[in-house]
Amino acid sequence: MAPAEILSGKTVSAQVRERLKNQVTNLKESVPGFRPGLAILQVGDRDDSNLYISMKLKAAAEIGINANHIKLPNTASEAEVLRCINALNEDPAIHGFIVQLPLDSNKPINTEKITNAVAPEKDVDGLSSINAGKLSRGDLGDCFIPCTPKGCMELIRQTGIQVAGKRAVVIGRSKIVGAPMHDLLLWNHATVTTCHSKTASLAEEVSKADILVVAAGKAEMVKGEWIKPGAVVIDCGINHIPDSTKASGKRVVGDVAYAAAKERASYITPVPGGVGPMTVAMLMQSTVESAQRFVEKYQPGKWHIQYNKLSPKIPVPSDIEVSRSCVPKPIGQLAREIGLLSDEVELYGQSKAKILLSTLERLKAQPDGKYVVVTGITPTPLGEGKSTTTVGLVQALGAHLGRNAFACVRQPSQGPTFGIKGGAAGGGYSQVVPMEEFNLHLTGDIHAITAANNLVAATIDARIFHEATQSDQALYSRLVPSINGARKFSDIQIRRLQRLHINKTDPDALTADEIKKFVRLDIDPESITWARVLDTSDRFLRKITIGQSPTEKGLSRSAQFDIAVASEIMAILALTDSLEDMRRRLARIVVASSREGIPVTTEDLGVSGAVTVLMKDAIKPNLMQTLEGDPVFIHAGPFANIAHGNSSVLADKMALKLVGKEGFVVTEAGFGADIGMEKFFDIKCRYSGLQPHVTVLVATVRALKMHGGGPTVTAGVPLPKEYTEENLQLLSKGCCNLSKQIQNARTFGVPVVVAVNVFKSDTEAELQLVMRLAKEAGAFDAVKCTHWADGGKGAVALAEAVQRASQAPSSFRFLYDVELPILEKIRIIARKIYGADDVELLPEAEQKVILYTKQGFGNLPICMAKTHLSLSHDPERKGVPTGFILPIRDIRASVGAGFLYPLVGTMSTMPGLPTRPCFYDIDMDPVTGEVTGLF
């Protein structure tokens, strides 16, 4: 019989690598920017492991696989290794992932636990119990096979011998080679016998084998005479035996007596150069297969969300009943569905989570999606439904049109929730759930703002008190105390010295004059603009007297409380784009002026760092979901009059990265287009650098009738018939407001889609009239919406119109140049957006223009604080008022947030409770723990 043909693993593996190289090239061409990724996790620094890893890295580079070698020290604990594995499991750039064994750690580590922690879909070593289980039951197309058995099978195929029906013997039963080799041969229809150290008559069993695979780890244990003539012999062993002819004094042999076996077998693998090279090649093949599966299953940028199917009821139940009818999926599941990694998600129970800002850094190369802002006509007591439309549109885009879609909305204040307005989670079948979580504490951001704001307020009055009751030297001794005989300036004090042009760092080196400059802020109590805040509507805190205790030594003054969301810190949270930027903005807050007219900041007070610490968690956007399971960021909720009335820049930026190039982010601007939308464009977009693609303008038939001169409405009293019966004349007259707000939106160069929220009393003729007039006024499209009653299904037409509009040409532009004088910027807004003939500065406002220009704040954007109930300053004037002069009573500065806000009329920053507040209906079921009465 002729000697066996040599099965060269080197030759076959070279062929495999060449084939894989071509497959990777094709993958890259079909998916630009894509590259298969392999991660090799090593614990310790074993020489043999280093050698094997270098071979794998070299093979990966040759094929075009992006291989990462992660090396943990031998002091790594099991928990540290598991954390690293979890991060690699979640990394979408990693398609194959192996843990190099053995683990070289001086701490106890459960190897089984480690190998099973690798995600089965990335376990290209095939060592996890899940992959082993799938192999054992024959699911060869849905698992990874350990690399050595897979290489052995490839070598067997090279012989051309039909495996089916052959008798196969496997010597060895390890999890890495023997056991999976048995399963692999079995499911290729061989009749398989596994032998091991306890097997009797081993030679007899071997002599029956048409195919023999040996992985016993014992040098030349299988003798040549045992081999059945013509058998295929695969030798997996690597053993060292003494050999005086070798320089090293030893040589490598397999588990089979090669020379003798070669004379009886038809095919045989050499050692070395047989199975060894195939193991690395099969690792590469499994990595490429995993990458191909990833590309087929996960289209780049496409989410795989499990949406909730709604079953709307008629009539539509209360909002809280609708909310309770849906069981939200765990928020951690939603986070995974939209591509967030577990270490980017901080869970707050099962229904809400905070998302770390590190997400933005990870996704910085990801293109942004389409940016949509929802605004409305001038608000009326009848409501327009902007929040409901925002949620309904996202549900339509996501659950019904299959787009990645994200809603970004403001967090509501608890003041109105318990007062007169109720919740703000949307409504009907288009709302954020659970609504009670959304409307109450959420994750405590507003409480953090309250604490931070009031720390600043307490600091102001404490500083005035201490300066009034101590000498310069006494103040200095307390501000820079001697500790263990040494005095040292804090970092924030060093920065104050630098602003004062005192370039000294030794506290003992300051002159008496320098000490005075350093310790005296000399705050003018009459100039203090910083109020205390509380997230409760309380009219009796609108004006208070503080400092009446004898311990304050007569330093009392008039002050006030604002609602917490009116705090400038809330506006800063909404406009910041990083923790560093927030720290700078908080430091720039001007709280008062000195008696010489010099601005006094939180940095001067020494409190800005502490305020930043209080805000360190609030800066992270909050993740919740819609009724249909779409993602929603709820983050920041600044007032829409004295502030800009939009949710956070950070939430929008993060959402735009998460949805990807073909996705949509829908955010809402407070009040009507003349207020929230103008500020969205001129303030929020100016600071964020983002450019919107579409404006959605929300209107209702009944609200437009009020703008046409319809009668006033009273809470609790049935609506007048003008609003419940067809009245085309009244409606046509009121559409002037819609036309004006369309014109306002188009001023910024962005396409406008009008969403007409349908009420059951609306007639088809009325709806058609509104849509026709909207298009005539320049709207890209106008559509009917029933998302309140039907969920996302009722906003599909709107979503389709938004998609089309997002492809239309746009030329986004700001309304004014910030370098213009303060008065000129105010005048541009008044004339172009409100339709005023001109503006009139009252004496106090004139003085502020002079002051802020002198202080260097003249180039800030303008945030008009005006009634939202009219385009003019008079809330009673509906429609499109003309021929009016806009009076500017005062101008104030939110320097940290980055805008000036002129006051048009009187602005209340602390709501009061009505005669019958909403809290009469709010309670908790002590048995179920459910909140009742929210709406």
Question: Annotated catalytic sites, by residue?
Answer: 56
Phi-psi region of 898 (alpha: psi -120 to 50; beta: other; left: phi over 0): left
Q: Sign of dihedral through CA atoms 781, 784, 789, 795?
A: negative
From residue 371, alpha-carbon distances to 200, 578, 670, 857, 913 in Å are 73, 20, 17, 30, 37
How many alpha carbons fall within 13 Å on the CB side of residue 548? 5
Query: Taking Cα atoms as reference points, which of 549, 679, 581, 628 lies closest to residue 790?
Result: 628
d(CA 152, CA 6): 14
**SS3 state of residue 453:** helix
DSSP per-residue string spanning 478-528 = HHS-EETTEE---HHHHHHHHHTT-----GGG--HHHHHHHH---B-GGG-
d(CA 204, CA 212): 13
d(CA 6, CA 273): 10
DSSP-assigned beta bridge partners for residue 782: 754
Q: What is the CA radius of gyration of the chain?
A: 36
Contacts with 232 (C-beta within 8 Å, 6 or more apart), sequence order = 156, 159, 161, 210, 211, 212, 265, 266, 267, 268
Query: Taking Cα atoms as reference points, which of 104, 93, 85, 47 lies closest to residue 66?
Result: 93
d(CA 832, CA 107): 71
931 with 924: CB under 8 angstroms? yes
The count of other CB atoms within 10 Å of the CB of residue 662 is: 15
d(CA 171, CA 165): 19
From residue 160, alpha-carbon distances to 153, 266, 267, 269 in Å are 11, 12, 11, 15
* Segments in 541-648 forming alpha helices (H): 568-575, 579-588, 602-605, 608-614
Amino acid, single-letter form, for residue 132: A
Phi-psi region of 156 (alpha: psi -120 to 50; beta: other; left: phi over 0): alpha
Query: CA 496: distance to chain centroid?
Result: 36
d(CA 749, CA 77): 58
DSSP 669: B
Contacts with 591 (C-beta within 8 Å, 6 or more apart), sequence order = 456, 460, 528, 529, 530, 600, 601, 602, 605
Query: Taking Cα atoms as reference points, which of 402, 338, 316 lies closest to residue 625?
Result: 338
DSSP 158: H
**SS3 state of residue 874:** coil
Give first-to-last CA distance, the chain, whole Å: 90
413 with 809: CB under 8 angstroms? no
